[in-house]
Amino acid sequence: MGPGMSAVHANMSNTLNTPIEALEISYPMRVERYELRENSGGEGANRGGDGVIRSLRVIGHEARVSLQTDRRRFNPYGLHGGMVGATERNWIEKKGELTRAPSKGTMTLDAGDAVILETPGGGGWGAPTGRREPKE
């Protein structure tokens, strides 16, 4: 047993790990950020996996964006004494101003606007006091 996997497509979710190049070739958008959401996994003897942060900016047009995300109100639970993972968060950036986006809904973004998605982390397994550090 070991720490949970980070940045993975999880069972029927909308976090498919589409390569940046495929998104940018297929749609008039730029991926400005795609990284691990560090420390979003719950503490435990085996830490939960970290989610991702992805920021997509609309280029040269108006775009309709639909969000269908979960784990906003209830944290991903830990098991056998493990701590909860972080909840998801979504943001819309319009003219440099960030506002929280709903977990579900459809909105229109103008050219230059961005949507930022922060996926939840996984819950930890086992009491954190018995945590084993990964071997290098």
pTM of structure: 0.84
Number of domains in the chain: 1
Q: Is the pLDDT of residue 81 over 60?
A: yes
Domain annotation covers residue 13: no
Minimum mean pLDDT range among 15-19, 22-26, 53-57:
15-19
Domain limits at 107? 20-125
Domain annotation covers residue 111: yes
Average pLDDT over the chain reads 88
Domain annotation covers residue 2: no
Domain annotation covers residue 10: no
Domain annotation covers residue 136: no
pLDDT category of residue 54 using cuts at 50, 70 and 90 = very high
Q: Is the pLDDT of residue 72 over 90?
A: no
CA atoms within 13 Å, Cβ hemisphere of 124: 21
Q: Is the pLDDT of residue 125 over 80?
A: yes
- pLDDT value for 78: 95
Domain annotation covers residue 113: yes
pLDDT category of residue 136 using cuts at 50, 70 and 90 = very low
Provide the residue type at 24 as one letter.
E
Domain annotation covers residue 134: no
User: Averaged over 96-107, what is the pLDDT?
Assistant: 93
Dihedral class, residue 71 (left if φ above 0, else alpha if ψ from -120 to 50, else beta)? left
User: Averaged over 84-100, what is the pLDDT?
Assistant: 94
- Measure the CA angle with vertex 41, ends 75 and 135; round to 5°: 155
Domain annotation covers residue 135: no
Q: Is the pLDDT of residue 10 over 80?
A: no
DSSP 52-113: EEEEEEE-SS-EEEEEE---SSSPPPPBTTPPPPPPPEEEEEETTEEEEPPSEEEEEE-TT-
Q: Which of 59, 52, 58 is nearest to 122 (CA)?
A: 52
